[in-house]
Copies of this chain bind each other. A is one copy, B any other.
Amino acid sequence: MDNRIIKERSSVSEAKEKFLGAITPLERTDMIAIDEGVGRVLATGILAPRNVPHYRRSAMDGYAVRSADILGASPTNPVMLQVCDEVDESTCSQVSTGACVPDAADAVLMEEDTICIGDMIEVRAQVHPGKNIGDIGEDVRQNEIIFYKGHLLRACDIAVLASLGIRKIKVYSRPLVAIIPTGNDLIPLEDSSEVPPPGKTLDINSLMIGLYSTQWSALPRYCAIVPEDRELIRKAITDNMDADLIVISGGTSVGERDYVPDVVASMGRKLVHGVGLSPGKPTALGTIGDIPVLCMPGYPAAGLVALFAFGKAAILKKGNIPQIPDITVKARLTGKINSREGYVSYARVILEGNTARPLMTAGAGILSSIAKSNGFVIIPENVEGYEEGNEVDVVLIE
């Protein structure tokens, strides 16, 4: 090994651009029932199959009238109308909100502007033609584009689809994310109600990657742990060439047996190995065929940062899912945060009211710092750090 230190170091933005540039959004689609649609992305535009309302709809509880009949009506000059089933000269009919307004009426008079006297009403206000009537198609016109292709469906959108009589929709499939853990020291979670033997580590990264993939609308496939062996790593990748994204955890730092980025390079294209990301420097990014491959450091905290910095955007792009801004809160630092020059640093902080307390953590392996922190202060590469008392943006850890 003559090149044991990762010499290359791409900036986070450059690495992300290269990686996302190599990702083609999925074209595969699913036909699903609308009530399964929250968080899914429309693969076709949706035209309104009908008008809403599809009849002249009363916007008020009151009386359907001919406005000409009550022209000039006021409290001092009331007009009497007969309440009937049909509307005609000097007759009106009672309508409730949402009801169909009879054809002969051209306005709805609010109940509040009337006094009921037997089967008559005393009308104490005039109305303009069209008043309190929702016209046919006023809300949605037939054949109007109601949602565009690529729209991320919210619960309220599902209600809109339901109201148009749409029951099934074509959405993009969820990307399949193959998760391959590597490492001779790893043991699977299921084998481990006991304390693992010294030198052995539970594979918690697979579960973490899988749960975040699910959260980001992908389908995780958990693969068996692969020992640090070129051929076995190659085989594990080959077995997952039906996936839409491959995430390999571990084996990215340049130790004697850290073969993953080399194997990716030999099977496809290594785009980046070594990123100005702290923690997370040994991240490697590549493609094999048209499958993007994210090689994450095995250390959980570094892996998590790499997953947030690259994995999330990759999954969203692959799944045609629009980027949603991170939830960010402003807070005042209760201590100094240092960062590494040339690195985008993810400093873990604990939010307490309007303050953010930096966690003093040494390395990338500090698991408890994830549990304790609720946010990251992300320090750009050209900033040296932040002083105590600085106001910073804290990105909540989702």
Interface residues of A (CB under 8 A from B): 4-5, 35, 38, 50, 52, 54-55, 57, 59, 61, 96-100, 111-112, 134, 139-140, 144, 146-147, 154-160, 162-163, 165, 167, 183-185, 189, 192-196, 198-199, 201-202, 204-205, 207-208, 211-212, 214-215, 253, 255-258, 298-300, 304, 324-325, 327, 329, 363, 365-368, 370-371, 396-398
Contacts and interface: CB of A to CB of B under 8 A. Distances in A.
Q: Which of A97, A157, A253 has the most CB of B within 10 A?
A: A97
A74 B324 CA distance: 51
Nearest to A373: B156
A208 to B, nearest CB: 4
B367 A160 contact: yes
A217 to B, nearest CB: 13
6 interchain residue pairs of minimum CB distance: A61-B255, A55-B198, A155-B211, A100-B199, A159-B208, A100-B198
B157 A371 contact: yes
B192 A165 contact: yes
A204 B371 CA distance: 40
A334 B223 CA distance: 51
A58 B219 CA distance: 34
Contacts of A159: 204-205, 207-208, 211, 300, 367, 370
A397 B202 contact: no
B367 A55 contact: no
A205 to B, nearest CB: 7
A368 B50 CA distance: 13
A155 B212 contact: yes
Given A154-B398, A397-B154, A397-B156, A368 B139 contact: yes
Given A61-B253, A370-B156, A327 B324 contact: yes
B195 A165 contact: yes
Most buried by B among A208, A299, A300, A363: A208
A327 B329 CA distance: 10
B304 A156 contact: yes
A363 B60 CA distance: 11
Given A160-B367, A192-B165, A325-B329, A155 B4 contact: no
Contacts of A215: 38, 155
24 contacts: A35-B207, A38-B215, A50-B195, A54-B195, A55-B198, A59-B363, A59-B365, A97-B298, A98-B183, A100-B198, A147-B371, A154-B398, A156-B370, A157-B370, A159-B205, A159-B208, A159-B300, A160-B204, A160-B367, A160-B368, A160-B371, A162-B189, A165-B193, A165-B195
B112 A4 contact: yes
A4 to B, nearest CB: 6
Contacts of A144: 368
